[in-house]
């Protein structure tokens, strides 16, 4: 690697240039008030002259903290996460922390580099948005009280008991289904996410129970397996079209699937909501601007981010022993159904 003699100026160079000790330089930087005015000026001038930037690695090593947290996102391509990240960034940067985002998808690193994230010296804490991480990696890594505290948001892993911020996915889908029933639908299907995903499971079950409660059938051939993406929504549209006996309404595990579904139907000349009602989940920015505007379950995404950040902050400030022994807080944020244009009474047929 391009190693040659040149080195970035260190605190020593600054000290020398300012005619003081390194301790004084350090103090000037971290606590300007304790040094005399003359010294302070000399040090700042020396910093400017030398072009000094603190060596973060050295500081982190010595202080045993980094001033940064990491967010592990399953898929940055999913616009769902962006607002959550905003919420996190907002609270965290106010608290003086840097926020580093990592996509867990390309993590072939998994076994190698991954554990280092938990080592309390790359970051001071972790917010995990990915419920599919290897749980052994998360657990079997030495005493938890010496590891960086972590909290789950949105998704979680049942076997890993950590603080969690979620919405009531179960309840949400109950509300969604009830909305469709209120519109007069009796034949209700579901576009689900990947079957091994926690959210998929809860969303599926929530709807199923609501159907049961209302004496409606939960038909196997009316639940379609997708993966939260636009593309899978479009694919399911074709499955739906191919059926002779179809639901008149579907509720989806994500807005993207709902939109992919609608777009593909549109292309095939089937109008939403005239011929079939579609109900989304997430309330992405675009949902309101889609054609037709999407009826969907609104998740308070910024609030989720903020809550997760605040919870992490709190965990980072509690004694590790207590953190391990104490209860595991869980906060559940309220969702709301926002009715727009993609749902309507079933075709009178």
Partner DNA sequence: ACGAGGTATGTAATCGTTTACAAGATCCAA
Partner DNA sequence: TTGGATCTTGTAAACGATTACATACCTCGT
- Residues 32-51 touching DNA, rule: CB under 7 A, are 34-36, 38-39
Residue 26 binding partner per list DNA, a second copy, none, with a CB distance cut-off of 5 to 8 Å that depends on partner kind:
DNA
Question: Three-class SS of residue 236?
Answer: helix
CB of 243 to a second copy, least distance (A): 21
Per-position x/- string for 230-269, each x denoting binding to DNA as judged by CB under 7 A, each - no binding: ----------------------------------------
Q: How far is the CB of 320 from DNA (least distance, A)?
A: 14
Q: Classify residue 165 by burial, with Cβ atoms within 10 Å: 0-12, 13-18, 19+.
A: buried
Per the DSSP assignment, residues forming a β-bridge with 296 are 280, 338
**Closer residue to DNA (CB): 36 or 348:** 36
Site string for a second copy, 213-252 (x = CB under 8 A): -----------------x--xx------------------
CB of 229 to DNA, least distance (A): 40
Q: Which two tokens stand for residue 108?
A: 């072939």
**Residues 266-305 interacting with a second copy (rule: CB under 8 A):** 266-267, 285-286, 288-291, 293
Residue 67 interacting partner from a second copy, DNA, none (CB closer than 5 to 8 Å by kind): a second copy
Please, which residue, 97 or 222, has the CB nearer to a second copy? 97
- Tell me the two tokens of residue 179: 């909305």
Task: State the burial class of residue 348 (Cβ atoms within 10 Å of its Cβ: 0-12, 13-18, 19+).
Answer: exposed
Decide whether 15 or 210 has the Cβ nearer to a second copy. 15
User: Among residues 43 and 126, whose Cβ is nearest to DNA?
Assistant: 43
The burial class, CB within 10 Å (0-12 / 13-18 / 19+), for 191 is buried
* Residue 277: φ, ψ to 5°: -90, 140
99: β partners: 69
Write phi, then psi, for 219 (nearest 5 degrees).
-90, 130
Interface with DNA (CB under 7 A), residue from 16, 54, 95, 338: 54
CA torsion, points 49, 53, 58, 64, in degrees to nearest 10?
Answer: 130
| Residue window 27-56: x/- pattern of binding to a second copy, with contact defined by CB under 8 A | -----------------------xxxxxxx
The total of other beta-carbon atoms located within 10 Å of residue 230's CB is 18
Q: CB of 40: closest distance to DNA in angstroms?
A: 7
Window 65 to 124, contacts with a second copy (CB under 8 A): 65-67, 70, 76-79, 81-83, 85-86, 89-90, 93, 98-103, 105-109, 113, 115-116, 118-122
Find the shortest distance in angstroms from Cβ 113 to DNA: 13
* 167 phi, psi to nearest 5 deg: -110, 170
Q: What residues from 304 to 343 belong to the interface with a second copy (CB under 8 A)?
A: 316-323
DSSP string, 42-100: HHHHHHHHHT----HHHHHHHHT--SEEEEEES-TT-THHHHHHHHHHHHHHHTT-EEE
Q: Looking at 57-65, 158-166, 281-289, 316-324, which segment touches DNA (CB under 7 A)?
A: 57-65
Which residues does 207 contact at the CB level (< 8 Å), separation at least 6?
Answer: 173, 174, 176, 177, 188, 190, 251
List 45, 48, 63, 268, residue binding DNA (CB under 7 A) = 63
Residues 6+ apart with CB under 8 A from 306: 87, 88, 90, 91
- How many C-beta atoms surround the C-beta of residue 53 within 10 A? 10
Residues 8-37 that bind DNA (CB under 7 A): 8, 10-12, 19-27, 29-30, 34-36
3-state DSSP call for residue 6?
A: coil
Contact code string over 80-109 relative to DNA, x by CB under 7 A:
------------------------------
Residues that bind DNA (CB under 7 A): 7-8, 10-12, 19-27, 29-30, 34-36, 38-39, 52, 54-55, 58-59, 61-64
């Amino acid at each position: 690697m391009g190693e040659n003699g040149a080195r970035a100026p260190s605190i020593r160079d600054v000290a020398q240039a300012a005619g003081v000790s390194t301790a004084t330089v350090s103090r000037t930087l971290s606590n300007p008030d304790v040094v005399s005015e003359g010294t302070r000026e000399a040090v700042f001038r020396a910093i400017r002259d030398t072009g000094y930037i603190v060596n973060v690695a050295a500081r982190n090593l010595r202080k045993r903290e980094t001033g940064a947290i990491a967010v592990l996102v399953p898929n940055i391509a999913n616009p769902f996460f962006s607002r959550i990240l905003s919420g996190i960034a907002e609270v965290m940067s106010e608290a003086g922390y840097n926020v580093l985002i990592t996509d867990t998808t390309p993590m072939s690193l998994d076994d190698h580099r991954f554990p280092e994230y938990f080592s309390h010296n790359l970051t001071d804490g972790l917010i995990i948005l990915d419920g599919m991480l290897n749980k052994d990696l998360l657990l079997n890594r030495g005493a938890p009280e010496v590891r960086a505290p972590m909290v789950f948001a949105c998704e979680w892993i049942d076997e890993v008991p950590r603080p969690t911020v979620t919405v009531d996915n179960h309840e949400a889908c109950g509300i969604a289904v009830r909305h469709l029933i209120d519109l007069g639908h009796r034949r209700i299907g579901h576009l689900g996410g990947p079957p091994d995903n926690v959210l998929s499971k809860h969303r599926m079950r929530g709807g199923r129970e609501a159907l049961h409660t209302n004496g409606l059938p939960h038909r196997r051939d009316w639940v379609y397996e997708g993966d939260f993406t636009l593309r899978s929504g479009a694919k399911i549209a074709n499955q739906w079209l191919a059926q002779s006996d179809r639901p008149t309404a579907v509720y989806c595990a994500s807005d993207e699937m709902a939109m992919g579904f609608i777009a593909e139907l549109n292309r095939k000349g089937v109008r939403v909501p005239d011929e079939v009602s579609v109900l989304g989940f997430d309330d992405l920015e675009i949902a309101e601007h889609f054609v037709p505007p999407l009826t969907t379950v609104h998740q308070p995404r910024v609030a989720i981010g903020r809550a997760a950040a605040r919870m992490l902050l709190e965990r980072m400030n509690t004694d590790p022993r207590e953190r391990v022994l104490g209860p595991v807080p869980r906060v559940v944020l309220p969702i709301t159904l926002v009715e727009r244009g993609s749902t309507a009474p079933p075709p009178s047929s």
